[in-house]
Structures are given as structure tokens and as C-alpha cells.
């Protein structure tokens, strides 16, 4: 949590080619982004975890789109530092906890938040943030649980223009977004451009 609060911004991305994993992570790190969420949405995703874990040890490696207990166990074994999911699955939460993987389930309703709390989660992914109603909605659903110290990790629809508003919320230690890593730049291996985009985002975050 301390690393997330210090970083403020988490770059989310999928990997199509395993060989791009380390150069991409290094490009983001060079721009100041020290936390990523690598999503398991491609066949290369699982193999990319080990590559980044071993090749870029200074990066706090989060893995997203964890949908099954087996995935939770495997990403921990492959070197993931934390995991997140788009929704709340109690079996996945239990598997992550048993494996020692810090885990943030996805929530978007008070009922889902209470289910997460029941499972012992005090750090949750607020997804899809903007589509659900953005900051006004987050304030509404979080208010009854503020005394429990719940922290929210918003993703979905965030960008360079609205990220600051989320970071100003006391219960938001960090935000995540996929706009930083453009797939076409990865395809072109334009690592310098990705570094520049990361630096711009970090500069915006530093103002909060």
C-alpha cells in the first residue's frame, strides 16, 4: 500500500508478445511509473509475469483480470506482487489469501463492497469507475464504510484529465489506467515515446 500511495499511478496493459514485456516495463520505469497492472487477457500474459518479475525487479508488479483460483496461485508463484480482478469472486479471494498474494477484488455496488469486507479485503478495485458514475458515485457508496478505512483503486475510463480529481479523494491511494500504454506504440517498439507519456502522467500526479 505504501508503494501504491507513493506511485499514485498504475499503468495497465496487456502483452501480445512476451518479448515486449521487459522493454515496456523498463520504458515505464524510466518515465517514473513504478507500478503496473499486467492483465491476463492474452496468451502471452502469464509468461510475461516471470519476465518482468525477473527482468525489472524494481517494478511493483500487479496482475489483473485474475478470474480463477488457479490463476491467483500461479501469478503469485511467477512473481506477482499483488493481484486484482474486475469482479468479486470469493473463491479467487480465498486462493489469493492462501497463496499470500495481496488482492483487490472488483466492486461497483454496496453489496459487493460488503462481500469484499466480509472476506477481509480493505483495498478494492472500483471498476468500471467512470461508467458507474465516477467520483460522485464513489463518494456515495463509500460514505457508509468510511469508518472502516476502505481504500479504493479506480479503473475504467480514467485519463490524464480526470485522474487528478480521483487522486484528491482521501480514500484513493492510486489510480489505474490503460491510456498510458498505447498498443500501437508497443507494436512499433516506440519505448522512448512510452517513457515520455509515463513522465507526463507522473508530472500531473505529482501536483496532487
- In 11-29, which positions are buried (b, 16+ CB within 10 angstroms) versus exposed (e)? bbbbbeebebbbbbbbbbb
Output the nine-digit C-alpha cell for 158. 480514467
What phi and psi, each to the nearest 5 degrees, are found at residue 125?
A: -90, 125
Closest CA to 4 of 192, 180, 184, 176: 176
Catalytic site positions = 37, 125
Output the nine-digit C-alpha cell for 105. 477484488
Task: For 165-199, give the DSSP string.
Answer: HHHTSTT-S-EEESSSS-HHHHHTT-HHHHHHHHH
d(C-alpha 144, C-alpha 134), whole Å: 17
| CA angle, residues 204, 4, 11, in degrees to nearest 5 | 60
Amino acid at each position: 500500500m505504501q508503494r501504491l500511495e507513493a506511485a499514485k499511478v498504475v499503468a495497465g496493459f496487456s502483452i501480445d508478445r512476451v518479448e515486449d514485456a521487459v522493454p515496456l516495463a523498463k520504458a515505464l520505469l524510466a518515465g517514473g511509473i513504478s507500478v503496473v497492472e499486467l492483465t491476463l487477457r492474452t496468451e502471452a500474459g502469464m509468461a510475461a509475469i516471470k519476465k518482468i518479475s525477473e527482468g525489472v525487479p524494481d517494478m511493483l508488479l500487479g496482475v489483473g483480470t485474475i478470474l480463477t483460483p488457479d490463476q491467483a496461485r500461479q501469478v503469485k508463484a511467477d512473481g506477482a506482487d499483488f493481484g486484482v480482478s474486475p469482479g468479486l469472486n470469493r473463491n479467487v479471494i480465498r486462493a489469493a489469501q492462501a497463496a499470500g498474494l495481496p488482492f483487490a477484488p472488483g466492486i461497483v455496488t454496496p453489496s459487493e463492497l460488503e462481500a469484499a469486507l466480509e472476506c477481509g479485503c480493505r483495498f478494492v478495485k472500483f471498476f468500471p469507475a467512470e461508467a458507474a458514475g465516477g467520483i460522485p458515485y464513489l463518494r456515495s457508496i463509500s460514505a457508509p464504510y468510511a469508518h472502516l478505512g476502505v481504500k479504493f483503486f479506480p479503473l475504467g475510463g480514467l485519463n490524464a484529465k480526470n485522474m487528478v480529481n480521483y487522486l484528491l479523494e482521501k480514500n484513493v491511494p492510486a489510480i489505474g489506467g490503460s491510456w498510458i500504454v498505447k498498443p500501437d506504440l508497443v507494436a512499433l517498439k516506440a519505448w522512448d515515446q512510452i517513457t515520455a507519456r509515463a513522465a507526463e502522467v507522473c508530472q500531473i500526479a505529482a501536483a496532487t
